[in-house]
C-alpha cells in the first residue's frame, strides 16, 4: 500500500503526479481486491495484466496464455466476475487520474497566462481580446452579443451505462485527488484523505456497476439531471462572469448589456419517435422532474446566501420598492410562522430570503402532484418571473445603498441562474414521426368530411389538395378536436399538444419550444403539425421544426421550405416566432441511405 507520507505534493512535473495518482489508486484497489475477493483473484488479475503488456510488446506466447486463461475462466462464473470487476474498476480509477491530470494541466496553463498578464488560449477572454485587436467596435460587439444564442441539447443516445450512484462515488474520489494536489496539507491530513479514497474504493467494489433492470425513460432523465445538479448549475454563472470580466478589460469605456444567450435543451422524455415508452405521462413526469430539480437547486442557493445578506436597518437604508414587496409578503405569512421572521426584524434582506425560501418550498410541494390534481397555492410562485422579480428587488436595493460589490457578487450568480434555468431547467424538445401525424390527421378529418363526402380519404389526396385543406382548417375558427374519443394513437398524438399547452401554464413557455417532425418529406407534414398546435391553442407559441433525413428529402428540403414560406398562414406563424425557422438535418439516416461521403 502507498503510504500517505509518500504522497509528496512537491512534484515538479504534472506527469509525475499523474503516475503517482495511478500508482496510489492501483495500490488501494489491489488491497481492496485482496480484502474483498482473496489473494487468488488479485494474482490472476495481475497475471492477465502482465500478459497483456507482454502481448502489446509483441510476445505471441502471451496472447496464447491469455486465451487459455479465458477458456478456464468461463468455467467459473464467480472468478470471472471478480476479474471483470477488477479490470472495470481499475480503468475507472485510471480515468479519474487522467481527468485530474487534464484539470491540472489547464490550471498550470491558466496560472502561466495570468502571470504573464495575457488570456489563456481558447478562452472567452482570448476571443474578446482578438475581436478588440482586429478592430471590432463596442457597438459591433454588442450587436453580436444581442444575436448570440447557444443551446447544448442532452440526448439519451447512447445510454449512459454507469449508474448514478457509481458516478457520485467517482466524483467524490476526484475531489479527494484534487485535495491531495492542494500542496498545503499536513501529513495527517494526507493520510486521512487516502483513507477516504480507500473507503470509497471499497464501496465502489461492493456496488453493482449496472442496474438490475432495463433503465426506464425517467431513469435516463434523472441521469441527465445529474450533470445539472453537479456541474452545470454552478458552472454557467462562471461563464457569464468570465465574459463580463473580459469585456470590462478589453472594452473599458463601454458598458455592455449581456442577455441570456446560453440555455440548455433535452430530448430525454420528449423524443417519442419509435419509442412507445415515451407516453404523455412520461413527458409530464419529465417536465415535473426537471422543475423539482431546479427548485431544489434554488433552495440550496438561497440557504447559502441567507446569512450573507445580513445588512441591518441600523446601518443601511433599503429601497422603497423592496420594502413594499416585503410588506406584501408578510401578508401571506401565517401567524404561527411570524416568530422566525421577528428574530430578524432589523435585517430585512434575511427576512426576504426566508420568505423566498418558503415560497420555493411551497412551489416544490405543489409540483409533487400531477398537473390535473394541483390546486392554486398563493404562497407558491406562479412563475419563474415572480422568483426573478423577488431576487432583482433585493439586488437593486443592495446596489442602490452602497452595496454594488455585493450586488455583483455571489447574489448576482443566483439572479443569473434564475434567468437562465427558470423553472424549466432545460427546454424539452418533442419529436414524433410524420406518419403518426398523418394517420392522426386522417382519422380526425374523416369524422368531419365523410359526412359531406362518403368517399373522402385524406391519405389519398394529392399534396396540393392536402395543403389546400390544411390551410382551410388553419384559418377556420372551428375546433378540430373538441373531445378526444379517437383511437389510442390518435388521442396520444393530439394529447401531446395539449400537454405542451399545460406545460406552458404549469412550468413556463420555455418548458417546450420546439416540436420536431422526423422523416419530413413534404410541406403538408409541417402544416399538419401546425394545425395540431393551433387546435391546442399553441399557434405561434412553439417552433414547428422539420427533420430532413434521407438523401432524397435533403435534396427536396429547399423546395419544401420555399413552398411553406409562401403560404400566408405559415408566414403568420413565422411572424409570431420572430421570423425565424429552425431546420434539423438528420445525419445518421442520410448516412445509411446514401453513404458517408454523400451524407
Q: For residue 135, what pLDDT band results from cuts at 50, 70 and 90?
A: very high
Is 157 a known active-site residue?
Answer: yes
Give the CA count within 13 Å in the CB-facing half-sphere of 290. Answer: 31
Q: Is the pLDDT of residue 311 over 80?
A: yes
- The predicted pLDDT at position 482 comes to 80
Range in 119-123, 333-337, 490-494 the model is least confident about: 333-337
The CA distance from 6 to 21, in Å, is 11
- The predicted pLDDT at position 162 comes to 77
Range in 3-12, 306-315, 348-357 the model is least confident about: 3-12
Tell me the mean pLDDT in the region 282-292: 98
Q: Is the pLDDT of residue 8 over 70?
A: no
Domain of residue 364 covers: 282-420
Distances (CA, A) of 243 to 86, 233, 257: 44, 17, 11
Q: For residue 547, what pLDDT band results from cuts at 50, 70 and 90?
A: very high
3-state secondary structure 303-364: HHHHCCCCCCCCCCCCCHHHHHHHHHHHCCCCHHHHHHHHCCCCCHHHHHHHHHHHHHHHHH
Q: For residue 336, what pLDDT band results from cuts at 50, 70 and 90?
A: confident
Verify that 39 and 173 share a domain, yes or no.
yes
Identify the domain boundary among 194, 210, 226: 210
Please, what is the Cα angle at 472 between 538 and 475, to 5 degrees? 45
Q: Rounded to 5 degrees, what are φ and ψ at 465?
A: -70, -35
Higher pLDDT pick, 338 / 500 = 500
The CA distance from 593 to 599, in Å, is 8
Burial class (CB in 10 A: 0-12, 13-18, 19+), 153: middle
Asked, for residue 264, whether it belongs to a domain, the answer is: no
Verify that 157 and 291 share a domain, yes or no.
no
- The predicted pLDDT at position 332 comes to 83
Asked, for residue 158, whether it belongs to a domain, the answer is: yes
Tell me the mean pLDDT in the region 304-324: 92
Identify the domain boundary among 398, 420, 442: 420
Percent residues over pLDDT 70 in the chain? 95
Q: For residue 262, what pLDDT band results from cuts at 50, 70 and 90?
A: very high
- The predicted pLDDT at position 260 comes to 95
Asked, for residue 220, whether it belongs to a domain, the answer is: no
Verify that 139 and 15 share a domain, yes or no.
yes
Sign of the Cα pseudo-torsion (209, 211, 216, 218, in order): negative
Asked, for residue 230, whether it belongs to a domain, the answer is: no
Verify that 478 and 511 share a domain, yes or no.
yes
pLDDT digits (tens, 9 = 90+) for 432-467: 999 999 999 999 999 989 888 999 999 999 999 999
Verify that 475 and 343 share a domain, yes or no.
no
Expressed in angstroms, the distance from the first to the final Cα of the chain is 54
Is 534 a known active-site residue?
Answer: no
Higher pLDDT pick, 362 / 181 = 362
Verify that 16 and 156 share a domain, yes or no.
yes
Verify that 59 and 115 share a domain, yes or no.
yes
pLDDT digits (tens, 9 = 90+) for 19-77: 999 999 999 999 999 999 999 999 999 999 999 999 999 998 999 999 999 999 889 99
Verify that 412 and 533 share a domain, yes or no.
no
Identify the domain boundary among 420, 452, 469: 420
CATH of the domain at 391: 1.20.1440.90
- Nearest C-alpha neighbor of 35 from the set 176, 183, 205: 205
pLDDT digits (tens, 9 = 90+) for 143-184: 999 999 999 999 876 556 678 899 999 999 999 999 998 878
Average pLDDT for the chain: 92
Contact by Cβ (8 Å): 153, 429: yes
Verify that 388 and 490 share a domain, yes or no.
no
Residue count (the chain): 599
Asked, for residue 265, whether it belongs to a domain, the answer is: no
Q: Which of 308, 361, 563, 592 is catalytic?
A: 592
Q: Is the pLDDT of residue 397 over 70?
A: yes
- Those residues with Cβ within 8 angstroms of residue 374's Cβ, 6 or more apart along the chain or in another chain: 366, 367, 506
Verify that 108 and 27 share a domain, yes or no.
yes
Asked, for residue 292, whether it belongs to a domain, the answer is: yes
The CA distance from 22 to 5, in Å, is 16
- Biggest CA–CA distance in the chain, Å, is 90
Asked, for residue 491, whether it belongs to a domain, the answer is: yes
C-alpha cell at 45: 488479475
- The predicted pLDDT at position 102 comes to 93
Domain count of the chain? 3
Asked, for residue 317, whether it belongs to a domain, the answer is: yes
Q: For residue 3, what pLDDT band results from cuts at 50, 70 and 90?
A: very low
The reported pTM is: 0.87
In three-state secondary structure terms, 262 is strand
Verify that 131 and 10 share a domain, yes or no.
yes
- The predicted pLDDT at position 1 comes to 37
Please, what is the Cα angle at 379 between 378 and 383, to 5 degrees? 80
Q: Which of 75, 117, 157, 451 is catalytic?
A: 157
Tell me the mean pLDDT in the region 262-283: 95
Contact by Cβ (8 Å): 466, 458: yes
- The number of beta carbons lying within 10 Å of the beta carbon of residue 583 is 12
Burial class (CB in 10 A: 0-12, 13-18, 19+), 441: buried
- Nearest C-alpha neighbor of 311 from the set 346, 357, 340: 346
Verify that 331 and 399 share a domain, yes or no.
yes
- The predicted pLDDT at position 592 comes to 62
Q: For residue 586, what pLDDT band results from cuts at 50, 70 and 90?
A: confident
Contact by Cβ (8 Å): 383, 510: no
Amino acid at each position: 500500500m502507498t503510504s500517505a507520507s509518500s504522497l509528496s505534493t512537491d512534484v515538479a512535473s504534472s506527469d509525475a503526479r499523474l503516475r503517482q495518482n495511478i500508482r496510489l489508486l492501483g495500490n488501494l484497489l489491489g488491497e481492496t481486491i485482496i480484502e474483498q475477493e482473496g489473494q487468488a483473484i488479485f494474482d490472476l488479475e495481475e497475471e492477465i495484466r502482465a500478459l497483456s503488456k507482454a502481448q502489446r510488446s509483441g510476445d505471441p506466447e502471451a496472447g496464447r496464455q491469455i486465451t487459455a486463461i479465458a477458456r478456464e475462466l468461463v468455467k467459473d462464473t464467480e472468478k470471472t466476475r471478480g476479474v471483470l470487476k477488477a479490470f472495470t474498476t481499475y480503468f475507472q480509477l485510471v480515468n479519474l487520474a487522467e481527468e485530474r491530470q487534464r484539470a491540472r494541466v489547464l490550471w498550470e496553463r491558466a496560472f502561466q497566462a495570468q502571470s504573464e498578464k495575457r488570456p489563456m488560449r481558447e478562452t472567452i477572454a482570448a476571443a474578446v481580446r482578438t475581436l478588440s485587436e482586429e478592430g471590432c467596435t463596442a457597438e459591433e460587439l454588442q450587436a453580436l452579443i444581442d444575436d448570440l444564442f447557444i443551446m447544448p441539447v442532452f440526448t439519451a443516445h447512447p445510454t449512459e451505462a454507469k449508474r448514478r450512484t457509481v458516478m457520485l462515488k467517482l466524483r467524490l474520489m476526484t475531489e479527494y485527488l484534487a485535495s491531495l494536489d492542494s500542496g498545503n496539507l499536513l501529513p495527517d491530513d494526507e493520510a486521512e484523505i487516502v483513507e477516504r479514497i480507500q473507503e470509497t474504493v471499497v464501496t465502489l467494489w461492493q456496488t453493482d456497476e449496472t442496474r438490475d433492470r432495463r433503465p426506464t425513460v425517467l431513469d435516463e432523465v434523472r441521469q441527465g439531471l445529474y450533470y445539472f445538479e453537479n456541474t452545470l448549475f454552478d458552472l454557467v454563472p462562471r461563464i457569464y462572469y468570465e465574459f463580463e470580466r473580459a469585456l470590462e478589460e478589453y472594452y473599458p469605456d463601454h458598458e455592455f448589456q449581456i442577455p441570456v444567450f446560453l440555455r440548455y435543451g433535452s430530448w430525454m422524455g420528449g423524443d417519442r419517435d419509435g419509442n412507445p415508452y415515451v407516453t404523455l405521462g412520461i413527458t409530464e413526469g419529465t417536465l415535473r422532474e426537471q422543475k423539482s430539480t431546479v427548485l431544489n437547486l434554488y433552495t440550496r442557493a438561497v440557504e447559502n446566501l441567507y446569512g450573507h445578506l445580513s445588512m441591518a436597518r441600523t446601518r443601511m437604508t433599503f429601497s422603497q420598492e423592496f420594502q413594499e414587496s416585503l410588506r406584501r409578503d408578510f401578508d401571506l405569512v401565517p401567524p404561527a410562522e411570524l416568530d422566525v421572521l421577528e428574530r430578524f426584524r432589523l435585517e430585512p434582506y434575511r427576512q426576504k430570503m426566508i420568505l423566498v425560501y418558503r415560497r420555493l418550498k411551497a412551489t416544490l410541494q405543489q409540483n409533487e402532484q400531477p398537473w390535473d390534481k394541483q390546486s392554486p397555492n398563493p404562497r407558491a410562485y406562479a412563475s419563474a418571473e415572480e422568483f426573478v422579480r423577488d431576487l432583482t428587488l433585493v439586488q437593486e436595493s443592495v446596489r442602490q445603498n452602497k452595496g454594488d460589490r455585493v450586488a455583483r457578487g455571489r447574489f448576482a450568480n443566483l439572479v443569473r441562474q434564475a434567468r437562465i434555468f427558470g423553472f424549466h431547467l432545460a427546454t424539452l424538445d418533442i419529436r414524433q414521426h410524420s406518419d403518426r401525424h398523418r394517420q392522426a390527421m386522417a382519422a380526425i378529418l374523416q369524422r368531419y368530411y365523410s359526412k359531406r363526402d362518403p368517399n373522402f380519404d385524406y391519405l389519398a389526396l394529392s399534396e396540393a389538395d392536402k395543403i389546400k385543406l390544411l390551410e382551410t382548417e388553419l384559418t377556420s375558427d372551428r375546433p378540430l378536436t373538441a373531445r378526444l374519443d379517437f383511437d389510442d394513437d390518435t388521442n396520444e398524438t393530439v394529447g401531446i399538444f395539449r400537454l405542451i399547452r399545460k406545460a406552458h401554464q404549469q412550468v413556463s413557455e420555455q418548458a417546450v419550444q420546439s416540436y420536431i417532425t422526423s422523416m419530413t418529406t413534404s410541406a403538408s407534414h409541417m402544416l399538419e403539425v401546425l394545425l395540431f398546435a393551433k387546435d391546442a391553442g399553441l399557434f405561434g407559441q412553439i417552433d414547428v421544426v422539420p427533420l430532413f433525413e434521407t438523401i432524397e428529402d435533403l435534396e427536396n428540403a429547399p423546395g419544401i421550405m420555399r413552398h411553406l414560406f409562401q403560404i400566408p398562414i405559415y408566414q403568420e406563424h413565422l411572424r409570431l416566432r420572430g421570423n425565424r425557422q429552425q431546420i434539423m438535418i438528420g445525419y445518421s439516416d442520410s448516412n445509411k441511405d446514401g453513404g458517408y461521403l454523400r451524407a
